Amino acid sequence: MAIIKTIGILTSGGDAPGMNAAIRAVTRTAIYNGFKVKGIKRGYFGLVFNEIDDFTSRSVSNIIQQGGTILKTARCKEFTTPEGRKTAYDNMCAAGIDALVVIGGDGSLTGARIFADEYDVPIVGLPGTIDNDLGGTDATIGYDTALNTIVEAVDKIRDTATSHERLFFVEVMGHMAGDLALNGALASGAEAAIIPEMETEIDQLADLVNRGFRKSKNSAIVLVAENPKTGGAMGLAQRIKEEFPEYDARVTILGHLQRGGSPTAADRILASRMGAAAITALSDGQRNVMIGVKNGELVYVPFSKATNHSHRIDHDDIDLVKILSI
C-alpha cells in the first residue's frame, strides 16, 4: 500500500451548511498528524481543470460558522467520462496528491467510487448534503441546519395560513428522500407530509383529503418533498383545484433558501467529528468508505452501500404526524 503524504480535499454537488466545518476538521486533523493538505476548487472540476491550492491550518480560519463552502462546489460533466477522470488523475499525481477526501452527496460519492476503482486512489467520503438521502448513516452534514430553516419558515407561513384560513403546500428539497418533509412536518406541527417513499403505495393527496384533515380546523399546512414527476407542491395545488375545488390552496416553494445559513451546533459537531474520522480512516488504511454516524457512533460505510438508495424513513413517524394533527 502506497504511503500517503498529501491529502486533497474537495466539496462536490449541492452545497450544504457544515461543509466548511468539515473542511476545517479534515485540514487541521491532517496537518496535526503530519500530512500535507491541498484544497481542490469546485469539486471534480478543480481536479480536471487543475485548480488546486496548498492549504495550511490558517486556510481554514474563521469558517466553522459559515454556510456554503470556501472550496466552492460544482457539477462536473467531464468527470463522468473516462477521459475526464484520466485528466483528473494526471493532475492529482502532478500535484503530489496521494489520497482524497470527498465531501458531497450521492452523485459525488458515486464518482469517488468509480475513480477509486479505476485508479486505485485511496478515497474517504463525507456525507455532505441537506437531503439526508445516503445509506448507512443516520444523518448527513447540513441536514439539521436545513431542517431548522424549514421549521422557521413554516412557523411564519402558519401565521398567514391561520389568518386566511387556507391550505398551504410548502415544498421542501429531497426528491429521493422524504426526511426533510417528514421531520419538518413533525417539528412544525404540520398536518401531513407528502414524501417520495410513499408515492407508489397510496395516493397521498386523496388520503389526506379523505381523512377529513380539516374537519376540526380551518387552516392546514402540508409539507411536500420536491418531485419532478408529479410537479411537487405546484402539481398538488393543481390537483386540488381540479379534484377538490372546495379547498383554497396556496403554494410556497422554499427552494435554495434551505441550503444557506450558518450551520447549527449539531451540524458543526457532526462535521468536525466526521472530518477528523476521515483522516483516521486514511491513516488506518481504509479506502472507498464514507464516514457515517449510527446511533451516535462513527462508522465506515462502503461507497456501494452509501449510494445504493437503501436509506429508509421511519413509517411510525408518518403515523405520528397524522395523530398529532387531529
* Other beta carbons within 10 Å of 182: 28
Q: Using CA atoms, how far apart are residues 97 and 85, in angstroms rounded to an integer?
A: 15
Q: Is 14 among the residues that bind ligand ATP (CB under 6 A)? A: yes
Q: Is 54 a catalytic residue?
A: no
Find the residue with minimal CB distance to ligand ATP: 107
Q: Is 105 among the residues that bind ligand ATP (CB under 6 A)? A: yes
Q: Is 166 helix (H, G, I), strand (E, B) or coil?
A: coil
Residue where the block lists cell 477509486: 116
Considering beta carbons, is residue 107 or 136 the nearer one to ligand ATP? 107
**Member of 17, 111, 122, 184 binding ligand ATP (CB under 6 A):** 111
Q: Is 129 among the residues that bind ligand ATP (CB under 6 A)? A: yes
Q: Is 12 among the residues that bind ligand ATP (CB under 6 A)? A: yes
Q: Is 227 among the residues that bind ligand ATP (CB under 6 A)? A: no
Alpha helices in the chain (DSSP H): 19-32, 44-48, 82-94, 106-119, 143-164, 179-188, 204-210, 232-243, 265-283, 303-306, 315-324
Instruction: Choose the binding region for ligand ATP from 98-106, 116-124, 194-202, 280-288 (rule: CB under 6 A).
Output: 98-106
Residues 24-53 that bind ligand ATP (CB under 6 A): 44
Contact 10/23 with Cβ under 8 angstroms? no
All cell numbers assigned to 77: 460533466
Considering beta carbons, is residue 115 or 169 the nearer one to ligand ATP? 115
Which listed residue (98, 106, 131, 267) is catalytic?
A: 131
Nearest to residue 181, comparing CAs of 157, 206, 154? Answer: 154
Query: The sheet that has 123-127: what strands, in order across it?
Result: 52-55, 36-40, 6-11, 99-104, 123-127, 289-294, 297-302
Q: Using CA atoms, how far apart are residues 186 and 181, in angstroms rounded to an integer?
A: 9
Instruction: Choose the binding region for ligand ATP from 102-110, 145-153, 185-193, 213-221 (rule: CB under 6 A).
Output: 102-110
Q: Is 308 among the residues that bind ligand ATP (CB under 6 A)? A: no
Q: Is 66 among the residues that bind ligand ATP (CB under 6 A)? A: no
Residues designated as active site: 131
By CB under 6 A, name the binding residues for ligand ATP.
12-14, 44, 75-76, 79-80, 104-108, 110-111, 114, 129, 131
